[in-house]
Amino acid sequence: MTLLFESAPAALDLTDIVESAADALEEASAEEIVRWSIATFGDRICVTSSMKDAVLVDIASKVRPGIDVLFVDTGYHFAETVGTRDAVEAVYPVNVVNVTPSRTVAEQERDLGPRLNGRNPDLCCHLRKVEPLNRALEPYLAWITGIRREETSHRRGARVVEWNAARGKVKVNPLARWTQTQLEGYIEEHGILVNPLQYDGYPSIGCEPCTKQVAPGEDPRSGRWAGTGKTECGINI
């Protein structure tokens, strides 16, 4: 596929790039989408990963070894998630950037009281996920995510390239069209690192206090903020 742009000039309205690219790349492969985004934004693009698996990391690192991979370390992650982060850093040719909130867990509990995640999960997510990621994304013009349309109703409308008005940046979703079957096939074919919690009843993995095991046949996202009606942490909105 011919790339739409060789670079993103400062004077060019990024929304123009988004509209053209979203249409042109809708049927492109994930690798083609990643190649376009890296060719367009160069060093001003990064990957974000929850360390559920390393599929996106694998694809991006093959296109641009050394690419920045941002991981938001909330202080509440499962040990397995932190271990997956460490394994990704050791195995793949990427620069893992550990992003942390402005307050430690102890400082947050001191200032706002214990178990904020249970009393006000939206605020907890904002303080420990959204704000840190917003700060970490400041140097970049765009970022690459692993969200897929079939994951939640909110994500069904995700385009492979989007303008994120809240952050004033381009959001690239190369796996948007992928099904769970495609994802699992790529993992098996390429021997991709996977968070071991996925094999223990956690198909969707968030912070430990807010994530529970899911029974076979249940909605994979039902273990996140169970019983609260909450479905997103705010990072991908």
**How are beta strands 161-164 and 169-172 bridged, if at all?**
antiparallel
> At 10, is the pLDDT very low, low, confident or very high (cuts 50, 70, 90)?
very low
Q: Specify the pTM.
A: 0.90
Judge contact between 18 and 162, C-beta under 8 A.
yes
What are the pLDDT digits (tens) for 23-36?
999 999 999 999 99
Q: How far is CA 150 from CA 25, 66, 211, 219, in A?
A: 19, 30, 20, 11
What are the pLDDT digits (tens) for 155-210?
899 999 999 999 999 999 999 999 999 999 999 999 999 999 999 999 889 999 99
Give just the sign of the alpha carbon dihedral 14, 17, 23, 26. negative
What are the pLDDT digits (tens) for 123-166?
999 999 999 999 999 999 999 999 999 987 788 999 999 999 99
Instruction: Count other C-beta atoms under 10 Å from residue 217's C-beta.
Output: 5
Mind telling me the catalytic residues? 233
Average pLDDT over residues 72-83: 97
Helix (H, G, I), strand (E, B) or coil at 18: helix
Instruction: Count other C-beta atoms under 10 Å from residue 150's C-beta.
Output: 15
Tell me the two tokens of residue 30.
Answer: 């994930």
